[in-house]
Chains A and B, each alone.
Chain A
């Protein structure tokens, strides 16, 4: 943990690179920049580690033939970046100033200055945005099945979504719940074949196609969930104990608004490779990748951004 005092002691330092974010993109970038002898600070966020911190077994990250727990993988990446000399700060960046050289990041009220910045802030859970949802998060509504599945022992749970994360949530939940229903807006999933097959083979899982949740009712816990069929417009009420939301993610780019090029959805738009429209500011991972969104692609993008930053700093000096 970083206290105010030790942060303040760093305010005189001008870092070669400041990495914002600590998912696979940010931490891989940190491994490469430190090994490339850049003086590196990783401002990892108070909730560090990214989306993999909310997963269980990760079976598609190369090098772990038996799979690895998502949080363990992130602990390992962090330790690897620190091993080569990265300074890790577990705080959020609240503002950035790209109009000055060196660049200035505001962290816990203190400035951090750096000659280059790697943006690796990733993406955060997209909620449904329907009535009743906000009030019941933590009271039956969740976006983290590996965290919360055991609370739904012998209960009936709904999962909303159609991608790999929805499949994983549903499968994890079957270890505890008696019945799991996946609600999906379309008539087919976009999840990988292997995940879909696991879902179709599981006797505890049912699927409600072409449907969406329009309201969640309940006071101190979920009581009823109102579902609408998008083809027939009919609504029905389901009595369930839990609702897991896995409909995707929004890019975490609000602090960069107006400062670098973002597209209409908020993704950073890179110009060439990892370079943004601001010279010396690079981008990696899910904050700009709206296509692949994998741990391993994020790590790859982190490596690219680091190599571009190393190149930039060597020409700069």
Chain B
């Protein structure tokens, strides 16, 4: 299952106001490590469905959100719950690092 995209205009609705915790992958098409992360995120969105939502946001098309959260390196993956940032992972550290992040909200 492909990971859904969010944008500057629906970020509030889809991420901040979501009843589930949301893991947001800030990426761009020209970034090598982002491409590596993609299949891993797809797999995680499947294995943790109903527990967390995994979405991605293209930083070129949506500079406001990246700016708001001070994202200056991609990939950066930020975990949100109830409108708050719980923690972030800078760079692609493999499935293990994503799972460490997810375990902050899923037991």
Q: Are A142 and B72 in contact (CB under 8 A)?
A: yes
Q: Are A142 and B73 in contact (CB under 8 A)?
A: yes
Chain A residues lying within 8 Å of B5, measured Cβ to Cβ, are none
Q: Are B71 and A49 in contact (CB under 8 A)?
A: no
Binary CB contact string for chain B from 21 to 57 against chain A (1 if under 8 A, 0 otherwise)? 0000000101111111001101100000000000000
Q: Are B36 and A53 in contact (CB under 8 A)?
A: yes
* Interchain CB contact (< 8 A) of B33 among A53, A137, A242: A53
CA distance A48 to B34 in the complex (A): 12
CA distance A75 to B73 in the complex (A): 22
Q: Within residues 209 to 246 of chain A, which ones have a CB less than 8 A from any CB in chain B? A: 220-221, 242
By secondary structure, the B interface counts as mixed
Chain A residues lying within 8 Å of B59, measured Cβ to Cβ, are 150-151
Say yes or no: is B65 at the interface (Cβ < 8 Å to chain A).
Answer: no
Knowing A70-B32, A71-B35 are in contact, say whether A47-B93 is a contact too (CB < 8 A). Answer: yes
CA distance A126 to B28 in the complex (A): 25
* Interchain CB contact (< 8 A) of B39 among A1, A54, A74: A1
Q: Which bucket holds chain A's interface residue count?
A: 20 to 34
Q: Are A46 and B70 in contact (CB under 8 A)?
A: no
Binary CB contact string for chain B from 69 to 80 against chain A (1 if under 8 A, 0 otherwise)? 011111010000
Chain B residues lying within 8 Å of A163, measured Cβ to Cβ, are none
Say yes or no: is A144 at the interface (Cβ < 8 Å to chain B).
Answer: yes
Chain A residues lying within 8 Å of B93, measured Cβ to Cβ, are 46-47
Chain A residues lying within 8 Å of B10, measured Cβ to Cβ, are none
Knowing A138-B76, A139-B72, A220-B70 are in contact, say whether A3-B43 is a contact too (CB < 8 A). Answer: yes
Chain A residues lying within 8 Å of B32, measured Cβ to Cβ, are 49, 52-55, 70-71, 74, 146-147
Q: Give chain B nearest CB distance to A123 CB in angstroms.
A: 16
Say yes or no: is B13 at the interface (Cβ < 8 Å to chain A).
Answer: no
* Interchain CB contact (< 8 A) of B72 among A52, A53, A70, A138: A138
Q: Are B35 and A138 in contact (CB under 8 A)?
A: no
Chain A residues lying within 8 Å of B74, measured Cβ to Cβ, are 147-148
Chain A residues lying within 8 Å of B88, measured Cβ to Cβ, are 138
Chain B residues lying within 8 Å of A49, measured Cβ to Cβ, are 32, 36
* Interchain CB contact (< 8 A) of B30 among A46, A48, A52, A146: A146
Binary CB contact string for chain A from 75 to 116 against chain B (1 if under 8 A, 0 otherwise)? 000000000000000111000000000000000000000000
- Closest B residue, CB atoms, query A153: B63
Say yes or no: is A140 at the interface (Cβ < 8 Å to chain B).
Answer: yes
Q: Can you pick out 5 interface pairs between chain A and chain B where the beta carbons lie within 8 Å of each other?
A: A53-B36, A91-B95, A150-B59, A221-B70, A242-B72
